[in-house]
């Protein structure tokens, strides 16, 4: 989060992350092209046709992975560093999908006497049957959704569109994924003799659904196991050094509220687990210079008073903490705003 909407701050980790991402995408496309060339020793597709499928397959694979990151981060904190940089994955995914679409339009519709986009949408009007369905339109709609998401991924749009609208736009990634899966199943899969493509795409969709179900179940069970505070309103958290330095332990309160108890060196702080921006899990963020950074969109809040650094005015609730007989406790009643 930056008041003057600075470009991405290229920390060493972000540089390494993007280098690995670029290498992974290049390796995927190279492996796809090499396998396609060796799979057809006789009459093989043209290289541009192979590249069309390579870019499309890479976009689908990356989009599938993007939708897996959220639930994986809920199930294991080891995936949180990827969650922090998920925006980079989304922009690259759109770039791959755009390259796929551009090659399709140029190769299959660029030599027509009519506008290539018009040719794309009118060359096959059979919307009444699955066999021969004009899957191109589904891919085009998905591409437009991915474009809007990539174009509004910057903090400028995050702030100026407002939390509700911005989140609604970016939740449309699930619609884009459904459209892409349908696009592939009704397009590339129907042109294959075997079931390999269908099984791979279907397995990816099943895995995404399964991970979301497991993460959702874990969240429900976490709330159901919420402990009750003592008569004075203090809730047991655990040993101080059970909380990783710079991180938090999240505890659920009986009324459904979640509190993130952070350790910053030898100091303990507690804030609401719900980010004031879009309800992101503050407890999964990291502490830097006395502020916790929300892993979803980078909004920051001071641990001492729950306020965002100036000039922002956002605030999250804070809670009192204490250590009694070597055990950390948090008061479940929010402190008054200061």
Last residue of a domain, one of 222, 256, 271: 222
Higher pLDDT, 3 or 47: 47
- Residue 7 located in a structural domain: no
* 95 plus 72 within the same structural domain: yes
Q: Which residue would you say has higher pLDDT here, 269 or 84?
A: 269
* Residue 283 within a domain: yes
Residue 336 lies in a domain: no
| 49 & 182 share domain | yes
Q: What is the mean pLDDT of the chain?
A: 85
Does the pLDDT at position 312 exceed 90? no
In the chain, the percentage of residues whose pLDDT exceeds 90 is 38
Which residues, at least 6 apart from 307, have a Cβ–Cβ distance to it below 8 Å?
A: 301, 313, 314, 315
Residue 279 placed within a domain: yes
Q: Is residue 338 part of a domain?
A: no
Residues constituting the chain? 338
Domain membership of residue 217 as a residue range: 12-222
C-alpha radius of gyration, the chain, whole number:
24
Evaluate whether 320 touches 303 at the Cβ level (below 8 Å).
no
Q: Average pLDDT in the 277-286 region?
A: 80
- Tell whether 143 and 244 lie within a shared domain: no
- Of the pLDDT bands very low, low, confident and very high (cuts 50, 70, 90), residue 2 is very low
Tell me the C-alpha distance between 204 and 17, whole Å.
23
CB 82 within 8 A of CB 73: yes
159 part of a folded domain: yes
Q: How confident is the model at residue 5 (pLDDT cuts 50, 70, 90)?
A: very low
Domain end marker among 222, 245, 263: 222
**181 and 108 inside one domain:** yes
Q: Choose one of 222, 242, 274: the last residue of a domain.
A: 222
- The CATH number assigned to the domain holding 242 equals 2.102.10.10
**Same domain (yes/no): 19, 152:** yes
The closest alpha carbon to 302, from 329, 338, 328, 330, belongs to 338
**Paired tokens of 69:** 């990151």
- Residues 303 and 156 grouped into a single domain: no
Measured from the Cβ of residue 330, the count of other Cβ atoms closer than 10 Å reads 23
Do 264 and 197 lie in a common domain?
Answer: no
What's the pTM? 0.76
Are 147 and 246 part of one and the same domain? Answer: no
Are 165 and 309 contained in the same domain? no
One domain, residues 35 and 173: yes
Q: CA 206, CA 204: separation in Å to the nearest integer?
A: 5
Residue 308 counted as domain residue: yes
What's the number of domains the chain is made of?
A: 2
φ, ψ at 245 (rounded to 5°):
-60, 130
At residue 3, the pLDDT reads: 43
3-state SS assignment for residue 235 = strand
Strands (E), 191-257: 234-238, 248-252
Same domain, 80 and 203: yes
Q: Do both 17 and 115 map to the same domain?
A: yes
* Residues 199-212 pLDDT 10s: 999 999 999 999 99
């Amino acid at each position: 989060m930056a008041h003057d909407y600075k470009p991405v701050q290229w920390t060493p980790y972000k540089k390494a992350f993007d280098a690995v991402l670029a290498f992974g995408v290049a390796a995927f496309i190279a492996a796809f092209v090499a396998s396609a060339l060796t799979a057809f020793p006789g009459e093989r597709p043209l290289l541009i046709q192979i590249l069309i499928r390579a870019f499309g397959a890479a976009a689908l694979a990356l989009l599938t992975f993007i939708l897996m990151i959220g639930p994986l981060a809920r199930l294991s904190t080891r995936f949180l560093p990827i969650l922090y940089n998920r925006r980079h994955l989304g922009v690259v995914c759109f770039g791959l999908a755009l390259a796929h679409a551009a090659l399709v339009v140029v190769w299959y519709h660029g030599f027509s006497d009519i506008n290539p986009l018009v040719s794309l949408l009118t060359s096959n009007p059979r919307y009444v049957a699955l066999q021969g369905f004009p899957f191109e339109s589904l891919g085009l709609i998905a591409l437009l959704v991915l474009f809007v998401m990539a174009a509004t991924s910057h903090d400028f749009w995050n702030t100026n569109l407002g939390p509700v609208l911005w989140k609604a736009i970016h939740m449309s990634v699930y619609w884009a994924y459904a459209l892409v899966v349908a696009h592939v199943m009704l397009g590339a899969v129907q042109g294959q003799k075997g079931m390999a493509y269908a099984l791979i795409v279907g397995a990816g969709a099943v895995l995404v659904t399964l991970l979301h179900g497991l993460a959702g179940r874990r969240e429900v069970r976490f709330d159901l196991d919420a402990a009750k505070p003592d008569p004075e309103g203090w809730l047991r958290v655990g040993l101080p050094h059970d909380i990783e330095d710079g991180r938090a332990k999240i505890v659920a309160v009986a009324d459904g509220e979640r509190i993130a108890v952070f350790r910053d060196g030898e100091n303990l702080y507690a804030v609401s687990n719900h980010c004031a921006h879009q309800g992101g899990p503050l407890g999964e963020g990291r502490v830097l210079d006395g502020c916790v950074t929300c892993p979803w969109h980078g909004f920051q809040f001071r641990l001492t008073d729950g306020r965002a650094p100036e000039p922002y005015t956002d605030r999250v609730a804070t809670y009192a903490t204490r250590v009694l007989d070597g055990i950390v406790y948090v008061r479940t009643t929010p402190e008054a705003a200061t």
